[in-house]
Each structure stands twice: as C-alpha cells, then as structure tokens.
Amino acid sequence: MPELVFFSGTMDCGKSTLALQIAHNRDARGLQGVIFTRDDRAGEGKLSSRLGLVTEAVEAPQGMDVYAYLVAQLSQGGKADYVIVDEAQFLAPEQIDQLARVVDDLGLDVFAFGITTDFRTKLFPGSQRLIELADRIEQLQVEALCWCGARATHNARTVGGEMVVEGEQVVVGDVNRPAEEIGYEVLCRRHHRKRMTSASSRAGALSPDVLPVNHA
C-alpha cells in the first residue's frame, strides 16, 4: 500500500542525504520520481546535501497545488512512481493535504523530509500537518550533536554567534554560515533553554566568573 512517510529530525542530521539515497535506489530499479523542494540552500529548484550531493528538483512555492501539478504531468504522458519532498516544513498545511491526496488518489508513495520545530521550539505548520496526516513518522537515526557532545534536539537561530528567539519563522540559512551572519546551530535542550551556543560557550569559558560568585 502506498504511504505518506514523514522523515523528521533537526538540522544537520542527514535528511537531504537520505532523500537523495531513496531517489538513487529507486532510480536504479527503473522507477521514476518527482522531487519537490522549497528554499533549498543550493538555490531554487535544487535538492542538496551537506555532503556535496545535489540534484534537480521542482520548486514548490506558496500557493502551488502539488496534486494538480502531478495530475498534469501524468495526463501529458509523464511518469511518476514516487514523490520526494524535501524541506517539507516550509509547505503550507493545504499542500500537505495535497500530498496525502497524491497517496490516496494516485497511489504513489510520498516521502517527506523536514524539520519538526523552528528556532523558537514551535511546530512548523507544514510539519504539524504531516504529524497529523502521515501514515508513518520516522525519526532520523543519524544524531546531530550539540557543541557539548550531547544529542541535539533543537534548532537555534544565531546572529553573530548569539542565539535569538524572535523574528520571522522562515529565514533561510545554514549551520555552516560565518558567525557574523544569520545562521543556525543545533543544540541539546539544556543549552537551547540557556541560549548557550558554541560561540557563547567559548566566551563564557574565558570569563573569570564562570559560576555565580558571592562577593559579600
């Protein structure tokens, strides 16, 4: 039976790499897929991995009907055996409903990859709808690590190396950007709660008062 599968995890845990691997495995067996993405770090209409792998994809902007797009492709003689959606957290809830319809009405497997929560620990609307509708939810097994070495569970937005908790939900960035730019970092819950990034932890280690001191 075809399924809507949501592969979720933090940034830097291999979601895009797995998406590319799934596409490769099916293509090697003569299956043809349609890959959708939104706001990939490599640019419009690209699916890229931090390992340097990249492939062409269909950009799925706000307002695009992905179900209608696939119906049109099939009606014009195109072929689609499966669908991959990367950066699925950026899709609108109604687009997630359209993906569910692709599974139910067109009989295609849909593999959606995305981050569950934003830098404020709030659910992305697209991810929330996937949790509500998916036949199966898979947590990525490659664990991203916080700077302290613990398992990273939260995404943090940084400006100049300092964590911020206000601003627009979607600002495209990467974990590999220079510290002075808007970027992202994965943190364990404890350090996300304390707003302690790798940069601020180094600054704190240089402070003569690492722990509270009573100077009475």
Residue 16 is labelled as binding a ligand:
yes
For residues 192, 197, 203, 208, the Cα torsion angle rounded to the nearest 10 degrees is 20
**CA–CA gap between residue 36 and residue 174 (Å, rounded):** 19
Residue 1 is labelled as binding a ligand:
no
Residue 89 is labelled as binding a ligand:
yes
Q: Which helix (H) or strand (E) holds 123?
A: none
**88 Cα distance to chain centroid:** 7
Residue 77 is labelled as binding a ligand:
no
Let me know: does 17 contact 118? Beta carbons within 8 Å.
Answer: no
Residue 13 is labelled as binding a ligand:
yes
Residues 6+ apart with CB under 8 A from 109: 2, 3, 5, 82, 83, 103
Let me know: does 158 contact 179? Beta carbons within 8 Å.
Answer: yes
Residue 122 is labelled as binding a ligand:
no
- What residues act catalytically? 87
Residue 9 is labelled as binding a ligand:
yes
Residue 104 is labelled as binding a ligand:
no
Residue 15 is labelled as binding a ligand:
yes
Residues 6+ apart with CB under 8 A from 136: 3, 4, 5, 6
Residue 174 is labelled as binding a ligand:
no
**Annotated binding site, which residues?**
9-16, 86-89
**Annotated binding site for ATP, which residues?**
9-16, 86-89
